[in-house]
């Protein structure tokens, strides 16, 4: 049974927006309180941006995150509380990122040179990050999505299944094959399992 959204009488007049639950903020945003949606963006902005970065790369992540929040704002009326708000936002971000990835097929990794030479360990981390973006970009979309939701979002198998609209067994299978494919892609780029933790 879905959770019901709060009624206006359920919200204390002295309650700060930071003290409100997600459901209360959704209600307030639907009622025209723009600060309530701003609070939702503050709560979930980092998670949505991190998901977008892993799905479409650094260069397009901000655009995808903005589009996702715009779609969420426009779709507040369709949020029924059947799932957690974060799950709903992940689903919107995933769809938005998929659309962005289909519109632009260039590789995910952005190769902008840095005028300042970083310390070796920082340079190595950046190099690994670019390799990971490139390897993720080579994965089929369903595999990339499940891997990113698990690794970046930290979602459980059942939460991922809810976001993707599939069975938990499908999530497990896609995750297994995504990890294998990612290992192969990274091996082609010169990285071993010792360099990875996923």
How high is the pLDDT of residue 111? 46
pLDDT, tens digit, 9 for 90 and up, residues 17-60:
888 889 999 999 999 888 999 999 999 999 999 999 989 988 89
Q: How far apart are CA 127 and CA 12, in angstroms?
A: 51
Q: How far apart are CA 153 and CA 54, in angstroms?
A: 10
pLDDT, tens digit, 9 for 90 and up, residues 150-187:
987 788 999 999 999 999 999 999 999 999 998 998 88
Contact 137, 57 (CB under 8 A): yes
Rounded to the nearest 5 percent, the helix, strand and coil shares of the chain are: 70, 0, 30
Q: Is the pLDDT of residue 105 over 70?
A: no
Q: How far apart are CA 102 and CA 69, in angstroms?
A: 19
Q: How far apart are CA 184 and CA 130, in angstroms?
A: 16
pLDDT, tens digit, 9 for 90 and up, residues 65-85:
999 999 999 999 888 888 889
CATH code for the part of the protein at 1-106: 1.10.1740.10
Would you call 27 exposed, middle or buried from its count of C-beta atoms within 10 A (0-12, 13-18, 19+)?
buried
Q: How far apart are CA 84 and CA 105, in angstroms?
A: 32
Which CATH architecture fits 118-198?
A: Orthogonal Bundle (1.10)
Q: Which of 11-20, 93-102, 135-144, 156-165 has the lowest mean pLDDT?
A: 11-20
Q: What are phi and psi of 155, to 5 degrees?
A: -80, 150
**pTM assigned to the model:** 0.73
Residue spans of the domains in the chain: they are 1-106, 118-198
DSSP string, 102-145: HH--S-S---PPPSSPPPHHHHHHHHHHHHHHHHHHHS-HHHHH
């Amino acid at each position: 049974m879905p959770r019901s959204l709060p009624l206006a009488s359920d919200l204390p007049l002295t309650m700060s927006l930071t003290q409100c639950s997600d459901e209360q903020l959704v209600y307030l945003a639907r009622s025209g309180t723009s600060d309530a949606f701003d609070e939702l963006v503050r709560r979930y902005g980092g998670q949505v941006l991190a998901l977008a970065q892993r799905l479409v790369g650094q260069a397009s992540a901000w655009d995808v995150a903005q589009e996702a929040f715009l779609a969420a704002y426009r779709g507040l009326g369709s949020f029924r509380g059947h799932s957690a708000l974060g799950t709903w936002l992940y689903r919107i971000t995933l769809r938005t990122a998929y659309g962005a990835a289909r519109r632009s097929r260039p590789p995910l990794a952005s190769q902008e040179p840095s005028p300042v030479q970083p310390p070796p360990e920082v340079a190595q981390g950046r190099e690994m990050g670019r390799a990971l973006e490139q390897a993720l970009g080579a994965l089929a979309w369903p595999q990339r999505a499940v891997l990113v939701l698990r690794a970046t979002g930290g979602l459980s198998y059942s939460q991922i299944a809810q976001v993707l609209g599939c069975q938990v067994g499908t999530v497990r299978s896609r995750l297994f094959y995504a990890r294998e494919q990612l290992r192969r892609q990274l091996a082609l780029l010169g990285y071993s399992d010792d360099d990875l933790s996923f």
